[in-house]
Amino acid sequence: MEGNIAVGVNMQLTKEEQSIYDGEQGEVLQKAMEILVALGQIYDAEKLIPIKSVQVAGVSYKNLGRPGIEFLEWWVEHGADVKAFSTLNPAGIDLKRWKELGFSEDFSVNQQYIVDLYQKMGIVPTCTCTPYELGNLPKFGDHIGWSESSAVSFANSYIGARTNREGGPSALAAALIGKTPCYGYHLDEERMASSVFIVDAKMTRDSDFGALGVLAGKETKKGIPYFRGLPDMMSYNFKQLGASMAASGSVALYHVDGQTPEARTRNMIAEANEVYAIEDLKDAYAYLNTGSEKIDLVSMGCPHASMEEIMIISQMLKGKSVKVPLWITTSQATACQASSYGYKDVIEGSGAKLITDTCMVVSPIEEFGYDTVATNSAKGCYYMQSWCKVRTRYGGMRQCVDAALTGRWSE
């Protein structure tokens, strides 16, 4: 048994970890270790475990404000430098085209400063919520320390990696130490489904997965859902289903019978479970469609659009012109590639914009004065309705593109 570090701390730390906790390796590592140990205390972790990578949230100036900047300055001024490979969540603006898109100078300058602070700590400034598209790609069973609820859900469910739903500061602390407290989704027994959803509803449109997520997330809350009866899914279907449940509930892990990797290796349903039947998705669509028929803006790419989605959307837009602004959000890296493959020219030739680094959820969209925004993201609807005070229309990629071409929403 390694030494008990301090009276009132129940975790077992190694000598190295204890030395960090005691401040023998500087203030930065001590604070980071104190955060990890405190979280371990709260959630009854017995120890820390090494992690392969980190996804750091807490980037948008809209959410951080001045206090968040002071927090980040402290780490940078004290020489913080990450130990684990770490990528960064989206910012509040397109870091290159903010002026052209109408973001305010004050917001943009502060936003760039925040991203610079993170980069100084060794975090790759990917500014995306889909880090797995940019090489932050753990393998099945890997322990990781990720924030960003949709990415957490994708990594846990689609990949079968293991992470709790970290907050910005706890992810940063994990990145600096290269470890995370071992509790929750890091443990086999905590990954079993608590609810089973038997889906009888017809899943024919890509938007049906986000809609299903609204119903399942509300029922499951913090638990783990297991889905039966789903058709063969595309990766973007998993992304939308997970993002939706992370917004409507706090779902950080789900299983799909015969499709997600853990559900293919062993039984993932807990003995005590509740069974729900999903007959149709009407309630979900009603909840997500609060806006008018007249559309002011169409937003796609929440979570950030993959190359596959960008290609699909560019094919729909080829040779056409949009009537209302259509914003497709993705990472700079993906947009760069899309540009070299010619998709960006097609998209922007229609008048739509391929916007990078940000998304509707974290940008100061309320400043633009829109009434109704159409989107293919159920998660986006949740946050736009609450934080951004705009009304929403929800449908698949085809419906959203049509809305941009006509300026009207049609079922």
- Which residues are at the interface with other proteins (CB under 8 A)? 6-10, 31, 34-35, 38-39, 41-42, 58, 63-68, 70-71, 74, 167-170
Peptide bond into 231 cis (omega under 30): no
Question: 167 or 407: whose CB is closer to other proteins?
Answer: 167
Which residues make beta-bridge pairs with 276? 197
Q: Compute how many other C-beta atoms are within 10 angstroms of the C-beta atom of residue 392.
A: 24
Least distance to other proteins, CB of residue 153, Å: 18
Least distance to other proteins, CB of residue 9, Å: 5
Least distance to other proteins, CB of residue 69, Å: 9
Least distance to other proteins, CB of residue 98, Å: 22
Question: 80 or 346: whose CB is closer to other proteins?
Answer: 80
Q: How far apart are CA 411 and CA 395, in angstroms?
A: 8
Question: 247 or 400: whose CB is closer to other proteins?
Answer: 247
Question: 340 or 386: whose CB is closer to other proteins?
Answer: 386
Question: 111 or 334: whose CB is closer to other proteins?
Answer: 111
Least distance to other proteins, CB of residue 63, Å: 6
Q: At what angle do helices 397-406 and 307-317 cross, to 10 degrees?
A: 40
Question: 166 or 296: whose CB is closer to other proteins?
Answer: 166
Least distance to other proteins, CB of residue 19, Å: 15
Question: 63 or 194: whose CB is closer to other proteins?
Answer: 63
Least distance to other proteins, CB of residue 6, Å: 6
Question: 32 or 360: whose CB is closer to other proteins?
Answer: 32
Q: How far apart are CA 72 and CA 80, in angstroms?
A: 10
Least distance to other proteins, CB of residue 25, Å: 16
